[in-house]
A and B are shown apart, each in its own frame.
Chain A
Amino acid sequence: MRFLIFLTGIILATSASANKPVLTVYAPDYFVSEWGPGPSIEEAFEKTCECDLKFSAGDLVPRLILEGSSTEADIVIGLNTDVTKKARETGLFAPHQQNNGSLFLPIKWNDDTFLPFNWSFVSFVYDEAKISQPPTSFDDLANMKNAKIVIQDPRSSISGLALVLWVKEIYGDKAKEYWSKLAPNIVTVTKGWSEAYGLFTSGEAEIVLSFNTSPAYHISVENDQTKKAAIFEEGHYAYFELVGKLRQSNQPELADKFMQFVLSNEFQSLIPFTNWSYPAAQDRSEWPEVFSKLPFPEKAYFLSEDKANEMRKKAIEEWRAALSQ
């Protein structure tokens, strides 16, 4: 019975808001959850847009491919540079029509389809209580005695893939050799970021592959200063999260308004403490103190989607071969 009430509730809720135009935004699950940026973004945007912003959680690109041109999405938020090639090839996206010049990123942004809204550096995060001398380079990391590192699988995780590309870009032909050298320090490989980070916080590993902004969470929520990102002298792989507008959106004006909103100060200020990363359209001086004080790598690596796509297969195969021994 309660189930029936619940069902009718859903149906009524959907029809009740029918008088306002609806902007449908596809986003990953962590983005939409009550601990992610979704709810506060929805609230802020609805104050100005005279509309109903509806998030729909799920995996983005596979879903767009399954739905094809019949998709109900107006906006897709939470893409990353490793899937943009395939996303672009669907032909479903329209130019974002925002000024790339208003972005503050460690690299120059030229893409006029996908717009970054936040970013961070892929980094190894360690527990200061257990690691007294943090590694300052990839070589350091491999030479550590008895260090326990947990990483993500590049075949099932975006951060895992970023690491493999990062290593490949630095070591080139010697990437496989490097992986063999690092292998004894790797405790295990997990399916995704969550599993790895869980192993790190429960004490199973002392170093985890994550982002240089992760310590901001521990500092501001848990008042824990012991989690730090190791800064490598070679430079770090920059990780961007992107938003795109759908070509056949039936709310094109609202969609444009949302794209403008993404770059607004209001949206950008919501990012650091909900998505734990740097806002893309704010200068470092505008970031919250916790973020601007985090150690900052000197050099950023970024691979164009074509180059990343070219390298990916080989880089993963080398990783797999070296770690399977």
Chain B
Amino acid sequence: MARSTVTVISSVFLVGLLLGPLISLIHFSGLSVSLNSSDIAAIKFTCVQAAYSATLSTLIAIPVAKALKRQKFFGKQFVVLILGAPFILPVIVAVLGLILVFGNNGVVNNILNLIGFAPVKIYGFWGVILAHIFFNLPLAIRILLQALNNVPGEHYRLISSLKLSFVQKFFALDWPVLKKVCPGIWAVIFAICLSSFSVALTLGGGPKATTVELAIYQSFFYDLDFSKAAQLALVQVFLVVSVVLCSQFINTPKTVLGLDIKIANYKPSFFEKIIDALVIIGILLFIFTPLIMILFYGFANIFSLPLSVFKAASLSIQIAILSSFMSVFFGLCLTTKMGEIFGSLGIAISPIVMGAGTFLMLKNFGNPYLLAVPVTVVVNALVSLPFVIRILKPSALEIRKEFDNLSHSIGLTGIYWVWWVYLRRLKRPIGFSLGVAAALSMGDLGVIVLFGSGEITTLPLKIYQLMGSYRVEEALASALLLSLLAFGSFAFFDKLGRTL
């Protein structure tokens, strides 16, 4: 009873925070109701690329997560950690990294040229998909791995003693887990890819790759037609909410908790070992090479960056810490189906509309620029929330199912239950989600800066300033700094969750 009250209160609060800006923009400008043919084309392209990106990311994540679960090798912890990097890289940097590898003048084409093959062209539909897989695959792998790790050691013992075939093993061990988490992963990646704009356009090679977010940007900044922007934003919300709703209807199978036996007496077969090795090497090449290129280009200038860049970095860290705690707090209150649906609004609402609407709302309470820092904290927290909820929810649901009767029977309820059962058993996903939220916040430009940054300058904003004044090398160095910070905070919280 008390628990559902918490969910209801936080959901209402959340929906107010998220839909408030959209509603106030509609209130200000009205709502356009007609869609022209190029809008329809943009909606179509947006959905198709998002569906491809989500499907492929989820499918590729399955063998990788399984390989990482099954195999033990030197540096595995580090590999798992670094796999999180693309997801938290600032977009402008990651695109440059990808192009340095797959572009006309990139590593891949230089190698192909050396051995006498025709160059590959990254720009086009598959370039968009490649970039989206690069960004989102790591998230999918991590969430899956988390879920696979929750499979009790007893199951593995049992399965190895049964001498099942490869296929039988898959259905006995993995299928229940996949069925439980994959729809959620698919939905969240689909939602992220829906709001892609700069990545899709640049790697898509031109206006064929026009997304709804570009149309919103155009209506807002160039046509100054706010009612049209609001309408397109509503289309995005509709798409995300319907996909998330559908993912909720897929029945989740029952799971059983074991005795937390960590040692699984599971011996992978030779065949599995070979497959796993190939999968892990392939994925590392794909994820690492762009990262190494950024490191390579940015490293030379990182120590000669002006002080202002480090000041901006310090502000970004402060914002990241506050917003990650806020996001996880919300997330812990919303680990239900309803929470997952409402939480998804955080990525459903176009940042432009969110910024404009927040600005309109704050205007009535005084100078919005003085509130730039707190607003950035809250908005960043909301944007990370869909990921946080997806990380926390599977484990949280299990805890509820498995420990409710026991807790009730010994009178462990309310805040005591939260402290002794809920938080303790969730510390790993909490650490992981704090890390993701902090890193995401670090890389986020912050919506308010679109309408006036006042006195605040975050690190991503500094990078854009550098890029905008010809200083590409310094921008790359700052981007490297940002990536290191984002990655550092992710690693810190993730580690904390594992060791505490």
The interface of chain A, by Cβ under 8 A from chain B, is 2-3, 6-7, 10-11, 13-14, 26, 29-30, 33-36, 56-59, 61-63, 65-67, 70, 72, 86, 148, 153, 155-156, 161, 183, 186-191, 193-195, 197-199, 201-205, 214, 217-218, 221, 276, 317, 319-320, 323-324
B207–A319 contact, CB under 8 A?
A: yes
Chain A CB within 8 A of B104 CB: yes
Closest-CB distance, B119 to chain A (whole angstroms): 11
A203 CB contacts on chain B under 8 angstroms: 105
Name the residue among B99, B210, B367, B470 with the largest chain A CB count within 10 angstroms.
B470
B472–A201 contact, CB under 8 A?
A: yes
Nearest residue in B to A56 (C-beta to C-beta)?
B452
Chain A CB within 8 A of B131 CB: no
Question: Looking at the complex, which one of A63, A190, A199, A221 makes contact with B198 (CB distance below 8 Å)?
Answer: A190
Chain A CB within 8 A of B234 CB: no
Given A63-B451, A66-B28, A204-B99: A155 in contact with B222 (beta carbons within 8 A): yes
B202–A62 contact, CB under 8 A?
A: no
CA distance A317 to B37 in the complex (A): 11
Question: Looking at the complex, which one of B201, B221, B466, B470 makes contact with A62 (CB distance below 8 Å)?
Answer: B221
* Segment touching A, from B80-88, B172-180, B212-220: B212-220
Interface contacts (Cβ under 8 Å), in number, total 171
A218 CB contacts on chain B under 8 angstroms: 470
B469 CB contacts on chain A under 8 angstroms: 30, 33, 35-36, 276
Given A6-B318, A62-B356, A191-B202: A29 in contact with B468 (beta carbons within 8 A): yes
B450–A58 contact, CB under 8 A?
A: yes
A156–B218 contact, CB under 8 A?
A: yes
Nearest residue in A to B224 (C-beta to C-beta)?
A86
> What number of B residues sit within 8 Å (CB to CB) of A?
64
A62 CB contacts on chain B under 8 angstroms: 220-221, 224, 226, 356, 451
- 5 smallest CB-CB distances across A and B, nearest first, come from A58-B452, A33-B465, A194-B467, A35-B469, A30-B468
B206 CB contacts on chain A under 8 angstroms: 183, 186, 188-189, 323-324
Given A153-B201, A156-B221, A324-B208: A56 in contact with B454 (beta carbons within 8 A): yes
Given A62-B356, A198-B96, A204-B103: A190 in contact with B201 (beta carbons within 8 A): yes
CA distance A191 to B221 in the complex (A): 12
B217–A156 contact, CB under 8 A?
A: yes
- Jot down 10 A-B pairs with beta carbons below 8 A, ordered by A: A58-B449, A66-B451, A155-B214, A155-B217, A155-B218, A188-B123, A198-B96, A202-B100, A205-B104, A218-B470
Closest-CB distance, B10 to chain A (whole angstroms): 24
Chain A CB within 8 A of B369 CB: yes
Given A187-B104, A189-B207: A195 in contact with B202 (beta carbons within 8 A): yes
A199 CB contacts on chain B under 8 angstroms: 96, 99, 202
Closest-CB distance, A90 to chain B (whole angstroms): 9
B322–A29 contact, CB under 8 A?
A: no
CA distance A161 to B222 in the complex (A): 10
Known: A153-B214, A276-B469. 11 other contacts (CB 8 A): A29-B465, A34-B308, A59-B450, A62-B451, A188-B123, A188-B201, A189-B206, A197-B472, A199-B96, A199-B202, A324-B206
Closest-CB distance, A242 to chain B (whole angstroms): 17
Question: Looking at the complex, which one of B306, B308, B452 makes contact with A63 (CB distance below 8 Å)?
Answer: B452
CA distance A169 to B449 in the complex (A): 35
A65–B226 contact, CB under 8 A?
A: yes
CA distance A48 to B7 in the complex (A): 59
Chain A CB within 8 A of B413 CB: no
Nearest residue in B to A34 (C-beta to C-beta)?
B308
The interface of chain B, by Cβ under 8 A from chain A, is 28, 38, 92, 95-96, 99-100, 103-106, 123, 197-198, 201-208, 210, 214, 217-218, 220-222, 224, 226, 297, 306, 308, 315, 318, 322, 356, 359-360, 363, 367, 369-370, 373, 449-455, 461-462, 464-472, 475
Question: Looking at the complex, which one of B105, B297, B360, B369 makes contact with A204 (CB distance below 8 Å)?
Answer: B105
A187–B123 contact, CB under 8 A?
A: yes
B363 CB contacts on chain A under 8 angstroms: 66-67, 70
Question: Looking at the complex, which one of A191, A193, A204 makes contact with B468 (CB distance below 8 Å)?
Answer: A193
A188–B205 contact, CB under 8 A?
A: yes
A204–B217 contact, CB under 8 A?
A: no
B452–A153 contact, CB under 8 A?
A: no
Closest-CB distance, A205 to chain B (whole angstroms): 8
B454–A202 contact, CB under 8 A?
A: no
B468 CB contacts on chain A under 8 angstroms: 29-30, 33, 193-194
A197 CB contacts on chain B under 8 angstroms: 467, 470, 472
CA distance A187 to B202 in the complex (A): 9
CA distance A40 to B222 in the complex (A): 30
Nearest residue in B to A221 (C-beta to C-beta)?
B470
CA distance A40 to B226 in the complex (A): 35
CA distance A56 to B368 in the complex (A): 12
B201 CB contacts on chain A under 8 angstroms: 153, 156, 188-191
CA distance A259 to B41 in the complex (A): 46
A195–B92 contact, CB under 8 A?
A: yes
Given A30-B469, A62-B356: A3 in contact with B318 (beta carbons within 8 A): yes
CA distance A71 to B111 in the complex (A): 56
A2–B103 contact, CB under 8 A?
A: no
Given A62-B356, A153-B214, A214-B470: A198 in contact with B475 (beta carbons within 8 A): yes
Nearest residue in B to A198 (C-beta to C-beta)?
B472
Closest-CB distance, A309 to chain B (whole angstroms): 11
B470–A191 contact, CB under 8 A?
A: no
Nearest residue in A to B197 (C-beta to C-beta)?
A191
Closest-CB distance, B353 to chain A (whole angstroms): 12
CA distance A129 to B332 in the complex (A): 57
Question: Looking at the complex, which one of B197, B451, B465 makes contact with A59 (CB distance below 8 Å)?
Answer: B451
A59 CB contacts on chain B under 8 angstroms: 221, 450-451
